[in-house]
Structure 1
Amino acid sequence: MLYAAFLTIIDQELNAKVRPAHLEYVNDLYKQGKVLMAGPFTDKQGGLVIYKAESQEEARKLAEADPVIVEGARTLELREWSPLELPLN
């Protein structure tokens, strides 16, 4: 299953400090097959991580272990995501 983690920045200074650890964390999970894709929003207010997990609990555990969440630089909104199989026709 796929889960979308919306990571909204609440402390820009702290986020800048923790961002290298965040990027390393996301990259490591990508290499393990636990992250499908990730990236910042163009408004510079946060980003999105798409997790591949067996359950919501696993996805939440992964998302809550992200350094930007652990350190309190960003908030987390986690939602199960069901992408469309495109094209539809």
Structure 2
Amino acid sequence: MNRYLVILMRKPHVDPAVVSMHRDFLDDLRAQGRNEMNGPFGDGSGGAYLLRANDLDEAMAIVQRDPAHISGGWEITVHAWQAS
């Protein structure tokens, strides 16, 4: 499996209820062995998670199921991660 860095930047109006649904989504990914790590940025502007997927298409399909994506409350980018 490959690694993908998913970066989420908050938009001005984030629904607080979506934050807990997003965290539950990340917990489910961790239980599946798909989420290696995640966390918020110290300045509160957003956060990131390290996703495991077979390819970029699969990574994007997983991210599109994230409540953060569905709600539209975050700008989300996905980058292939090549750790050294």
TM-score category, normalised to shorter length: over 0.9
Q: Which residue of 1 aligns with 2:12?
A: 11
State the alpha-carbon separation in 1 of the partners of residues 19 and 83 from structure 2: 28
Gapped runs of 5+ residues in structure 1?
85-89
Identity %: 27
Instruction: Answer 1 or 2: which has greater strand percent.
Output: 2
The CA RMSD over aligned residues, in Å, is: 1.0
State the alpha-carbon separation in 2 of the partners of residues 13 and 37 from structure 1: 22
Closer/same/farther in 2, CA of residues 13 and 54 from structure 1, 3 Å limit: closer
1:55 maps to 2:50 = no
State the alpha-carbon separation in 2 of the partners of residues 13 and 32 from structure 1: 27
State the alpha-carbon separation in 1 of the partners of residues 14 and 82 from structure 2: 34
- The runs of at least 4 aligned residues of structure 1 exceeding 3 Å deviation read none
Q: CA deviation at 1:12?
A: 4.1
Larger radius of gyration: 1
Equivalent position SS for 1:65? coil
Gapped runs of 5+ residues in structure 2?
none
AA of the residue aligned to 1:39: G
Closer/same/farther in 2, CA of residues 51 and 13 from structure 1, 3 Å limit: closer
Equivalent position SS for 1:21? helix
Q: CA deviation at 1:77?
A: 0.6
Q: Between Structure 1 and Structure 2, how many residues are aligned? A: 83
Q: Structure 1 length normalisation: TM-score?
A: 0.88
Q: Structure 2 length normalisation: TM-score?
A: 0.93
